[in-house]
Amino acid sequence: MNGDMYLAWASNEENRNKADCGGAVTALLKFALESGLVDAVLAIKARDGDRYDGIPVLITDPEEIKDTAGVLHSSSINIPRYLKEYMAGVYNRKLAVVCKPCDARAIIELTKRDVMHLENLLLIGLNCTGTFSPVTAKEMFKEKFGVNPSDVIKEEIEDGKLKIRLKDETEVERDLKVLEEEGYGRRENCRRCEIKIPTMTDIACGRWGNTDEKMTFIEVCSDKGSNLIESAIEAGSIKVEKPNSEAIETRRKQDALAIKLAQEWQEKDFAPFKAMSADERFNYWFSQFSQCIKCFGCRDACPICFCEHCMLEADRGYVSGGEIPPNPLWPMVRVVHVMDSCINCGQCQDACPMELPLAKLIFMLNKEVAPRFDYEPGINVESRAPSATVTDTELTIEDVALFLKKSV
C-alpha cells in the first residue's frame, strides 16, 4: 500500500545480473506492458549505444524495454515537454512514464492546468542527484578522470563523489565538490536541486538504501504504484524483501547529504546578488537581458510554459512585433510568468544561445515567492499556483520592471 518500501529485483536471474540495481525497474515496466496495465512506456535510451546521446522512446513491445535499462546521467531529456508537445493524441491511452523528480514535478504542474491527465499516466520515478551536459561530461572524463569518454559505462553520484565504471570494470572516483568548483560536474540547476527522491510519482526508485548492488529501493507513493508492485510480485516478475531500519536510515542520510550540498550551492550562487544594491541588481539583469536575441528558445524548452496563445507573440499586442533585439524586459515577462511554478529543470538555460543565467534567476525568484504563498511547485496536484489567480491583463511591462528592481 501507499507508503510501503521494498528492496526489489528482477526475478529473471540473467536480467538481475545484467541490469543496474538488479533490474527491478526494467522488470516492472515490462510487466506493466505485458499485463495491459499500460499501453506504452515512455522512457529514454542511448541512441546507437552512445550514452552521451539519450533520446526519448515510446515502447509498445515489451521486448524493447531492455534497451532503456540503466541510467544516462549525460542526457537531460525534457520528458514533460515531449509528452505535452508530441503526445496529445495518445492521452486516451495509458502510459508509463519514467521520470526524474523535475520531470514529474512539471507533469504535476501541467496536470493542474488541465494540459495533462494523471489518470492516464503511471509515473515511475527515479531518484536523481543530477545530470551532466554531454559536452561537459566528455571533457571532464578526459581531463579530470584521465579516461576515454567512450570507455565509461556507468556514472554514480554518492557520498559527495562522482564514481565512474569503465568497460574493463575498473572504477575511478573524484570529489564532486572539487570538480564543480573547477567548472565541471552537474548542470548548474541540478547542483541547486533539493528534490532528489520523487515521492510525487507513483513509485520512487533508486539505489540509496539497497543492501546489495543488485537491488532497487522502492517507495510506493500512490495506490496506482501499490497496484503495480503487488501485481508484479504476484505474477513473479519481481522479487522483494522489506528493507530494515538501517537501510531506510541510510537512504534518508544520503538524501539529507544531497540536500545539504544543494543548499550550499544555492547560498554560493545567490551570495553575489544579496551583496548588490537594488540598483546594481537591476543593472546586472538589465545588461544580461539586453543580450537576448528573441529566439524563443527558453519559452519553447520550458515544460511548464502552458499558455496556448503566448503573451510574447506580437499579435497579443503586449510587445512590439519585429523588434530585434527586443526590449530587455522581454525575457522578464516570461520569467515573471513562470516563476511561481518553475520546477528548476534548467531547460530554459540550456536552450539559451546567449547563455543567459535564466534558470538561476527564476529559481532565485521562486525561492522568494514560494514561502510567501506557501506553494511548492510540482509536489501536490491539489494546490493551485499563485498565478492561477491572476489574469493576463493585470500585468504590465511597468509592473515587471518594478518587480525586477524590488525583488531580484
CB of residue 109 vs ligand SF4: minimum separation in angstroms? 8
Site string for ligand SF4, 86-105 (x = CB under 6 A): --------------xxx---
23 φ/ψ angles, rounded to the nearest 5 degrees: 70, 20
Which is nearest to 361 in space by CA: 177, 189, 158, 176? Answer: 189
CB of residue 20 vs ligand SF4: minimum separation in angstroms? 17
Which of 354, 370, 395, 397 is in the footprint of ligand SF4 by CB under 6 A? 354
| Contact flag: residue 298 with ligand SF4 (CB under 6 A) | yes
| Contact flag: residue 56 with ligand SF4 (CB under 6 A) | no
CB of residue 167 vs ligand SF4: minimum separation in angstroms? 26
CB of residue 339 vs ligand SF4: minimum separation in angstroms? 8
| Contact flag: residue 58 with ligand SF4 (CB under 6 A) | no
Query: Is the N-terminal amide bond of 325 cis, ω within 30° of 0?
Result: yes
Which of 22, 70, 130, 209 is in the footprint of ligand SF4 by CB under 6 A? 130
CA distances from 188 to 30, 359, 360, 363, 378 (A): 34, 9, 8, 11, 20
Chain-centroid distance, C-alpha 368: 21
Query: How many other C-beta atoms can be found within 10 angstroms of the C-beta atom of residue 277?
Result: 8
> What SS3 state is found at 340?
coil
Task: Using CB under 6 A, count the residues that bind ligand SF4.
Answer: 38
Only one of the segments 43-51, 56-64, 65-73, 346-354 lies at the binding site for ligand SF4 (rule: CB under 6 A); that segment is 346-354
Hey, which residues between 358 and 387 contact ligand SF4 (CB under 6 A)? 358-359, 362
C-alpha span between 99 and 200 (Å, rounded): 11
The contacts of residue 222 (CB under 8 Å, 6+ apart) are 2, 201, 202, 203
Which of 348, 369, 400, 408 is in the footprint of ligand SF4 by CB under 6 A? 348
| Contact flag: residue 176 with ligand SF4 (CB under 6 A) | no
Q: Which is nearer to ligand SF4, 23 or 297 (CB)?
A: 297
Q: Which is nearer to ligand SF4, 43 or 298 (CB)?
A: 298
C-alpha span between 77 and 56 (Å, rounded): 7
Which of 15, 75, 131, 222 is in the footprint of ligand SF4 by CB under 6 A? 131
Cell 540509496 -> residue: 208
Q: Which is nearer to ligand SF4, 23 or 125 (CB)?
A: 125
Q: Are strands 152-158 and 216-220 parallel, antiparallel or unpaired?
A: unpaired
Q: What b-and-e string marks burial along 323-344, b requiring 16 or more CB atoms within 10 Å of the CB?
A: eeebbbbbbbbbbbbbbbbbbb
CA distances from 131 to 41, 91, 113, 300, 376 (A): 22, 28, 27, 21, 22
| Contact flag: residue 352 with ligand SF4 (CB under 6 A) | yes
| Contact flag: residue 329 with ligand SF4 (CB under 6 A) | no
Binding site for ligand SF4 (CB under 6 A): 76, 100-102, 128, 130-131, 189-190, 193, 292-298, 301-304, 331, 338, 342-348, 351-354, 356, 358-359, 362
